[in-house]
Amino acid sequence: MNRDTVLFDLIAKEAIRQEEGIELIASENFTSKQVMEAQGSCLTNKYAEGLPNKRYYGGCQIVDQVEQLAIDRAKELFGAAWVNVQPHSGASANAAVFLALLQAGDKILGFDLSHGGHLTHGSPVNFSGRLYQPNFYGVEKESGLIDYKQMEEVALREKPKMIICGASAYSRDWDYVRIRQIADQVGALVLADISHPAGLIAKGLLNDPLKHCHVVSTTTHKTLRGPRGGLIMMGQDFENPWGQKTPKGELKMMSAILDGAVFPGTQGGPLEHVIAGKAVAFGEALTDDYKQYITQVKKNASRMAQAFVDRGYQIISGGTDNHLMLIDLRNKNVTGKAAEAALVAADITTNKNMVPFDDKSPFVTSGFRVGTAAVTTRGMKEEHMDTIVEHIDRVLMNVDNEAEIKEVKKKVNTWMHDFPLYK
């Protein structure tokens, strides 16, 4: 077949969009070239249902080594005793955990989507809210911090089988010790979904959930800077007897149950080309370079939060401990939807986001979310965060002024040439 110029022209346009804009979507990042090379490799041709050395197909002798490499590196990176690197995405990882640990109709307790949680933590439009009975905790109205008292009250009242912690839009660290104590009172399992801050956790910049939570799930493409995908892990204490609290006895059993819930429970053949990309990314994340990178991500987020506060913006919880922040725009008289559209017109990509106790719909919202993982990959440091916030503020103060927004776009496009993406 001739080269598919229609498709490759589109990819070339997307490459320019990525090069010329400021990427602030908190869940995005730019992988290395070698991650993309692995993903674009011949491994995409191979079926490999099963696990390394236990496959349902012949010819897996090489992909077995690829997958084992990803497993070993993920274990080392997080200090995990067991991992499964096959989930196609974060949502698939969570689906497998739910299937493994719950019966349909069981009660679960998750972080409210409208306060910063994720769809897969019990939203009625998602499998997690349709097949299970969701209950929620949120943040305290005054502080914007997780309301652990409410978590405990709901847990004691509802006796959920699983408590889910983790978020898509929460800028503070989690108290896993407290969550485990709450769970132990009612015999619940704890799932920590660390999709967003995984890279910061891996490098010790945030509390470690693997020491306290029964199962940990994550995406691999956010702060971890790998290919799009998911990962499920258990910490070291999974080697110990599980006592009466597990559904099936020993922790060791749980790994088999979780493996089975990924395949054949919720997936068919694993994406070995993506798993290869994960192996590369985990290898990168084990280096000192990555430690410097992720430390800078956190410093940049902290500086960006301060720059917003200095300009009168309200950040939920007042600041950030991780790579992201959620900004309440109500005092600026701009909706999240209008902000997102105006910023995109200036080639600054963010996403509108509900804020806790929002009075607007998820399609409009009162806020927007930003993160520093992607711009830090491009080499930006603290002082550049001030410039980004200056551009954002200029756009948001002029959402209806096309000429002004065009001016900002021009500046952004020129400026981004100083931070080449793929040299």
Residue type, 237: D
Query: How near is the Cβ of 311 to ligand PLP at its closest, in Å?
Result: 27
Query: How near is the Cβ of 216 to ligand PLP at its closest, in Å?
Result: 12
- Tell me the per-residue interface mask from 228 to 267 with ligand PLP, x by CB under 6 A, - otherwise: ----------------------------------------
Residue nearest to ligand PLP according to CB distances in the complex: 90
Which residue do the tokens 């470690």 mark? Answer: 208
Catalytically annotated residues: 47, 49, 193, 219, 222, 228
Query: Does residue number 349 form part of the binding site for ligand PLP (CB under 6 A)?
Result: no
Task: Return the range that interacts with ligand PLP (CB under 6 A); candidates 83-91, 145-153, 178-186, 357-365.
Answer: 83-91
Which residue do the tokens 């590369």 mark? Answer: 280
The DSSP H or E segment spanning 108 is strand 107-111
237, with CB counted inside 10 A (0-12, 13-18, 19+), is middle
Q: Is 123 helix (H, G, I), strand (E, B) or coil?
A: coil
Residue type, 276: A
- Name the β-bridge partners of 234: 82
Was 30 annotated as part of a binding site?
A: no
Residue 97 or 334: the one with the smaller Cβ distance to ligand PLP is: 97
C-alpha count within 13 angstroms, C-beta hemisphere, residue 201? 29
Candidates 35, 91, 327, 388; binder of ligand PLP (CB under 6 A) is 91
Candidates 114, 195, 267, 335; binder of ligand PLP (CB under 6 A) is 195
Q: Which of 73, 298, 302 is nearest to 206 (CA)?
A: 298
Phi/psi of residue 326, nearest 5 degrees? -115, 125
Task: Return the range that interacts with ligand PLP (CB under 6 A); candidates 74-82, 163-171, 272-280, 362-370.
Answer: 163-171
Residue 416, token pair as written in the block: 């981004």
Candidates 55, 73, 118, 203; binder of ligand PLP (CB under 6 A) is 118
Query: How near is the Cβ of 396 to ligand PLP at its closest, in Å?
Result: 24
C-alpha dihedral (217, 223, 225, 226), degrees to nearest 10: 10
How many of the chain's residues bind ligand PLP (CB under 6 A)?
13
- 243/251 Cα distance (integer angstroms): 9
Query: Does residue number 89 form part of the binding site for ligand PLP (CB under 6 A)?
Result: yes
Was 391 annotated as part of a binding site?
A: no
- Which residues in this chain contact ligand PLP in the complex, by CB under 6 A? 27, 89-91, 118, 120, 166-168, 193, 195-196, 219
